[in-house]
Amino acid sequence: GRFVLNRSASPASAAERAQALQDLHFGSAFTDHMVHARWTRAAGWQDHAVIPYAPVTLSPAAAVLHYAQEVFEGIKAYRHADGTVWTFRPRYNAVRMNASARRMALPELPEEDFIASLVDLVRVEHLWVPEGAGESLYLRPFAFASEPFLGVRASEVVDYYVIASPAGSYFPHGLEPLSIWVTTGYHRAGRGGTGAAKTGGNYASSLLPQQEAYSQGCDQVCFLDDVTRSSVEELGGMNIMVVNADGTVRTPRLTGTILEGSTRSAIMTLLREEGRPVVEETITLAGLLEDIRDGQVSEVFACGTAAVVVPIGRLAGEDFEVTIAGSQVSRQVYERLTGIQYGTREDTHGWMYRL
């Protein structure tokens, strides 16, 4: 591999691992090792290695801590019934991380190295890939500005890591329908901003409106565009799709302020394949509420790598609240997508990549 295991961690015992793999949720358990490489302006990418999972030592002046020059990715490793381990469209994430990196003035990582980093980490950590239904090893590649310098300019030292986290469902209630709070006071992204980049700042700015959502008894916040303040963009950590009563599926078009989801893209392909029209268009909140009330919209659902596909049962905001009963299309597309990911359905698109 490109990323050589240079120091072994004293790994968790089989009993400790079994304990950690029990009752999985999202994002709180981590494996024994991680990937690291360092970039400097002078020397490029160097020191590719798999090293023990451990705290990262940073100068308090590291630029990321002050100016948030950072990008990240989310991708999963799935265990198939025959024991082999696969991931889903890693090149999609490699390309997207580099697009995010360009926007954040970070160096690009060669696609082959991105993919090698997943392969080399999962080879070392294969015992951590869970085998329960809906479970996976969530991989989190990220890169950040580590140069100790307080001037505001692109860092000349950047660290890349991949950590791995055995994961069950993102939401504590599994695949139960979500309640969504549509915030009008906050926007996620503006024209020319960083909305299309997978960078920590977008998620940082979602936290306060997400708290607003929790305080309204909702699971996720939904953002409107900042120009017209009328069209639906995305949720705090996932994309949104709407199913019309006539079977057409709609999702907000990519305007530069929306994160281009890997799951969003795969779902559009799967739905089109079964003959469903899928359109990317402007979806106004007012129009959506009217269509839900008139019965023209039968389902709304959320999709993302971490979340997978989850029906939305309720949309609420300052002056409205509607419920949506349907979940048939989202359940169907969940089955199709996860069938491919877990190897129980044929992968006709060549999406799966053996780790």
Position among 166, 200, 237, 317 found at the interface with ligand COI (CB under 6 A): 237
Part of the chain binding ligand COI (CB under 6 A), chosen from 10-18, 242-250, 282-290, 300-308: 300-308
Residue nearer to ligand COI on the CB measure, 74 or 252? 74
CA distances from 177 to 36, 270, 324, 338 (A): 38, 22, 9, 18
Size of the site for ligand COI (CB under 6 A): 5
Q: Tell me which residue has tokens 């190897």.
A: 343
> Does 305 interact with ligand COI (rule: CB under 6 A)?
yes
74 or 195: whose CB is closer to ligand COI? 74
- Kindly state whether residue 252 participates in binding ligand COI, applying the rule CB under 6 A: no
* Residue closest to ligand COI, measured at CB: 74
Bridge partner residues of 165 (DSSP): 138
Q: How far is the CB of 245 from ligand COI (least distance, A)?
A: 29
Confirm or reject binding of residue 166 to ligand COI (CB under 6 A).
no
d(CA 180, CA 319): 14
| Contact string (CB under 6 A) for ligand COI, positions 43-82, x = contact | -------------------------------x--------
Q: Which is nearer to ligand COI, 74 or 313 (CB)?
A: 74
189 forms part of the interface with ligand COI (CB under 6 A): no
Contacts of 312 (CB under 8 A, 6+ apart): 177, 178, 179, 180, 240, 299, 300, 301, 302, 324
Positions that interact with ligand COI (CB under 6 A): 74, 237, 304-306
